[in-house]
Structure 1
Amino acid sequence: MTQDTSQTHTTSRLPAAGAQFAQSLNVLTWFHSHPHGTFMQASSQLGLSVPQIKHELQQLSYCGLPGYLPGSLVEINVNKTTASVEFTAGLDRPLTLTSMEAGVLLFNLEALRNTVDPSYHDAIDDVVSTLRSLLRDSRKYQVRREDRGLVASDSSTHNDRPLTQAEQEHDEQGALLASMRAAVTQRRLICADYHSLNSDSVTRRTWIPDRIALINGEPYLWGREDEREQRIYAIDRMRNITFGAQDSAPAPQHPVIKEEDPFNFEATSEWVTLELHKNLAWMLEYYPMWLIEEQPENDYLAVTMPNTGAWLERFCVAYSESIQVIEPLDLAKRVRERAKLGLQAYSI
């Protein structure tokens, strides 16, 4: 009984909060639009009692912009029969997104589309189409303002406060993802210096871009090199990125991204079995490995993971004190040989 009551209360609280917020905004907007309006007039038009309207105005006086300091809060002068709104903190009009925020939201919506039920695709496509239209209009408006000398061509904020390093990195990543996404749409080849974890080397590569998506918050490119098999590449391991001319890439091959297995590990034919010391249990959250069984009698966990070749050898050597290869025996041999080569560099 207690659980059912709690669930009902939690479920009904969210829409009630939304209705309360909308009601408060209606009161604020009404008085902002009617500088000489009285409480009785507002009550008649809004369908609220006078005490309720006064309560809404009082609550609004505690709202405002982050910082919540004088000058950033909603300012309302309440008299006996009327009220006047001196400062709305922007709550009297729809909230707006910067181009960067809209671009990041667009990117996340496109990634979300790959994970939700197909019945939601039309709704997401409508929002994506609207955002793209707003971004195009925003760019045209920005250009017109620059041409008229109303804003500097490199201005991206509404104030002159210097950006922090975190904000700069966020903006740079957002701009990069927007460019990568545009390359997919406009069919441009993508070139970059790519650090391969498998070979631990950096090479210049050219991809035919098929898809940009987020996995656990990290951006990845689904692409092909010279029409070869489609693979997944981590964008944060790319440097010196350039883009080809429009239509320089052939038609895309749209990947099927499974929410439960986005890297398609189930298609892997070669797997290995390792024993991990329990002090490395955190790896289960960060590496593509799965627990087979926990052995209570000792301090080791039996896990399995895809056989990724040279990378896996280096991985086992790096954590050799806490990892033991169970199978295949060929991997254990390769790890042993790699360890010997490393020791030879320190032989006297």
Structure 2
Amino acid sequence: MSARTPSADRLGRLLNLVPYLLARPGILISEAAADLDVTDKQLREDLELLWVCGLPGYGPGDLIDMAIDGDHVTISHDAGMDKPLRLNPDEALALVVALRMLAETPGIGTRDAIERALAKIENAAGDLADAPVAVKLPANQERLAKVRAAVASGNALRLTYYTPSRDETTDRVVDPMRMLMVGGFNYLEAWCRRAEATRLFRIDRIDAFSELDEPSAPPVGAVPHDVTGGVFHPGPELPLVTLRVGRGGRWITEYYPVEQVVREGPEWLVTMRVTDLGWAQRFLAGQGRDVTVVGPPELLERIRAQAATALGQYAAPHGLAADRPAAG
């Protein structure tokens, strides 16, 4: 068994430190250090690090706050870290299942690290890890293997492909160029004869495909994508969307590429490029009160029309019973 590193020990201590201090307001630093088996100096360094820890936003009300009065310390704002670092049975099982699924995902390059983490969690979970839960991804593996074999054959392919940004399924003929993995997803890069451009097709969005009796022949202008920064590279030709987001919607700035974030008190004004306004409409319609669309006007009008249609459905009579005369 490998020895724990000082950084790992410190991380575990920091995750437990806030709930420990919350339960002991005004505790002596020397007493807390003795309980945690560290020196007073180390504990004070841990407290200084906690000053700059907290939730995304990292402004007032987001960071952990505390009061140090001489040799006494009290947590005044916990930033949500109010529970000890312990997994309940449901959380432990969910983590085991997630790691097993990740280990079964084709093309993952960090399988050794995943298996080591899974072994540790299963050891800590005890009998719970023996629950009758098996995770297999045979469909993904089979599809990936078949696409790879088709690409290796050197022939052109006919694809039935789903495009979520437009919520449509299309048939197209492509000339395969290579297989690659980006951001945990497997892609087929090919020259699309319909679009007359190089395209990336996510394997799990290929509904069906067949080999053609003609060789794959990408034209000279079929240049591979630069995927070092990810698949999506927003450019000025794409629609620009402006959103006003509250705390519950700030995750958007971490999950999607954004061009600008302007903080206006508790709300942020966010601008981002999208591939298609139809995708933006479907995405934003389900975000709730934490996200408000500011522009462009076309997107606002789309969402207003969608909302009006939905309200109209609620107002309309349902079923034949509404048309029947009342019994007299």
Q: Which has the higher strand share?
A: 2
- Larger Cα Rg: Structure 1 or Structure 2? 1
TM-score, length-normalised on structure 1?
0.46
TM-score, length-normalised on structure 2?
0.49
Q: Which has the higher helix share?
A: 1
